[in-house]
């Protein structure tokens, strides 16, 4: 198997470490770098992951690096092709994503500036919450072209929606196709016209009230996990989404997936990071993929755009 490139995962909590594990086990990168501000944590996890290589049969090398709050320790990340930012505090029960805005903005800004310094040609995948705002902040702080900074939202939300539909109907997840656009949160926009079960429109197999119930559960999917865990937040599904996005970049796959990307004219929406479908490759977002939406779906997407636009306008000073 041909391996190439380096991917850095910033933050070695459950989310970051699981993302690093998935990326290493893909066996498509030459090197996975995992960083954390807790001294020795990333190095210990890297050693553990490397020792799993003979069992799992992958050759990707995992490197751990301790960074400091003042920006030291980023040398091992130099020349990364892809950087996944998971750094920041996770939600606690009762917290909204927006409660994290100010504290995580400072962390993410510092990380983005260091990425720009050490890996000026990287593509950045943002997963820190609140997602839409942190994606916009990362682009501003790094000064990277907007196509090289995008966020993880729709991949995760769509997976949650698909799972909710499949478990409700008692069918394999592989027989269900769903799609969510808009923001990662309250203004998530389900796209019923793109949702099918065994090729049948979702509206033909579930009544409108049940679909709305599943949409609401999907919209609150992260909070549901947080409430059950009591401490920490979701990481298995989010890490799967982030790793798949990073893989699409390094393999230049051209996969069309829902992500938080810069929208500038598509769907009649200008100048905002928003959850849309995009073709992903070695340069990040190659193009936004517009699909035919119903009037209500398009109205929901435009409403989401205005909601996140107002929030993103506030992050420049953070």
Determine how many CB atoms are found less than 10 A away from the CB of residue 95: 15
Q: What Rg do the C-alpha atoms of the chain give, in angstroms?
A: 19
Residue 208 makes CB contacts below 8 A (sequence gap 6+) with none
Measure the CA–CA gap between 131 and 157, rounded to whole angstroms.
Answer: 12
Please state the separation of Cα 13 from the chain's center in Å. Answer: 15
Determine how many CB atoms are found less than 10 A away from the CB of residue 175: 15
Measure the CA–CA gap between 227 and 315, rounded to whole angstroms.
Answer: 28
Active-site residue set:
184
Strands 6-10 and 123-126: unpaired
Omega within 30 of 0 (cis) for the link into 12: no
Longest dimension (CA), the chain: 56
């Amino acid at each position: 198997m041909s391996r190439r490139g380096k991917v850095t995962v910033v933050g070695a909590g459950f989310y970051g470490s699981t993302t690093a594990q998935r990326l290493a086990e893909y066996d498509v990168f030459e090197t996975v770098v995992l960083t954390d501000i807790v001294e020795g944590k990333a190095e210990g996890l890297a050693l553990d992951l490397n020792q799993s290589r003979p069992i799992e049969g992958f050759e990707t090398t995992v490197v751990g690096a301790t960074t400091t709050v003042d920006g030291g320790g980023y040398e091992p990340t130099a020349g990364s092709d892809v950087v996944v930012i998971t750094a920041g505090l996770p939600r606690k029960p009762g917290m909204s994503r927006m409660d994290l805005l100010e504290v995580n903005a400072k962390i993410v800004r510092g990380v983005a500036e260091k990425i720009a310094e050490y890996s000026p040609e990287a593509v950045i995948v943002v997963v820190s919450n609140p997602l839409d705002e942190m994606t916009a902040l990362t682009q501003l702080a790094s000064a990277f072209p907007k196509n090289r900074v995008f966020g993880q939202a729709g991949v995760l939300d769509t997976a949650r929606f698909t799972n909710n539909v499949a478990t409700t109907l008692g069918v394999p997840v592989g027989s269900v196709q769903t799609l969510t656009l808009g923001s990662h949160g309250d203004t998530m926009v389900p796209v019923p016209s793109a949702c099918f079960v065994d090729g049948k429109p979702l509206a033909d197999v579930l009544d409108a009230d049940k679909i709305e119930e599943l949409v609401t559960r999907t919209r609150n999917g992260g909070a549901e996990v947080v409430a059950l865990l009591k401490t920490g937040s979701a990481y298995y599904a989010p890490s799967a989404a982030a790793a798949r996005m990073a893989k699409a970049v390094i393999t230049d796959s051209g996969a069309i997936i829902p992500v938080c990307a810069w929208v500038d004219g598509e769907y009649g929406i200008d100048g905002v990071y928003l959850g849309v479908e995009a073709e992903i490759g070695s340069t990040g977002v190659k193009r936004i993929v517009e699909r035919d939406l119903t009037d209500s779906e398009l109205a929901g997407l435009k409403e989401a755009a205005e909601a996140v636009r107002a929030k993103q306008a506030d992050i420049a000073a953070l």
